[in-house]
Amino acid sequence: MHDIAISDAEWEVMRVVWAQDSTTSSEIVDVLSEKMSWKAPTIKTLIGRLVKKNMLRTQKDGKRFIYRATIEEQEAINHTMEMLLSQICSRRVVYTVEQMIEMSELSVGDIEKLEETLAKKKQTAPLEIKCNCVPGQCTCHKYNNKRKEGVEK
Ligand SMILES: [Zn+2]
- CATH assignment at residue 51: 1.10.10.10
**Distance between Cα 132 and ligand 1 center (Å):** 5
**Distance between Cα 87 and ligand 1 center (Å):** 10
The string of DSSP codes covering 34-61 is: HHT---HHHHHHHHHHHHHTTSEEEEEE
C-beta atoms surrounding 80 within 10 Å: 13
Q: Please answer whether residues 56 and 7 qualify as being in contact, where contact means their C-beta atoms are separated by less than 8 angstroms.
A: no
The verdict on residue 24 lying in a domain is: yes
List phi, psi (to 5°) of 23: -150, 170
Distance from the first to the final alpha carbon of the chain: 51
Is residue 136 pLDDT above 90, yes or no?
no
**Distance between Cα 98 and ligand 1 center (Å):** 18
Residue 145 pLDDT:
55
**Distance between Cα 137 and ligand 1 center (Å):** 7
Residues around ion ligand 1, judged by CB within 5 A, are: 89, 131, 133, 138, 140
**Distance between Cα 94 and ligand 1 center (Å):** 12
The verdict on residue 37 lying in a domain is: yes
**Distance between Cα 143 and ligand 1 center (Å):** 10
Q: Provide the domain count of the chain.
A: 1
Name which residue leads in pLDDT, 96 or 21. Answer: 96
Mean confidence (pLDDT) of the chain: 89
Distances (CA, A) of 146 to 28, 120, 130, 135, 141: 56, 36, 17, 14, 8
The verdict on residue 153 lying in a domain is: no
Strand, helix or coil at 84? Answer: helix
The verdict on residue 47 lying in a domain is: yes
Residue 4 pLDDT:
75
Taking the C-alpha atoms of residue 53 and residue 10, their distance in angstroms, rounded to an integer, is 11
Residue 139 pLDDT:
86
The verdict on residue 26 lying in a domain is: yes
**Distance between Cα 92 and ligand 1 center (Å):** 8
Residue 3 pLDDT:
65
Full residue range of the structural domain in which residue 40 is found: 8-69
The verdict on residue 104 lying in a domain is: no
Taking the C-alpha atoms of residue 111 and residue 89, their distance in angstroms, rounded to an integer, is 26
Looking at the chain, the whole-number percentage of residues with pLDDT higher than 90 is 71
The verdict on residue 49 lying in a domain is: yes
The verdict on residue 81 lying in a domain is: no
Is residue 76 pLDDT above 80, yes or no?
yes
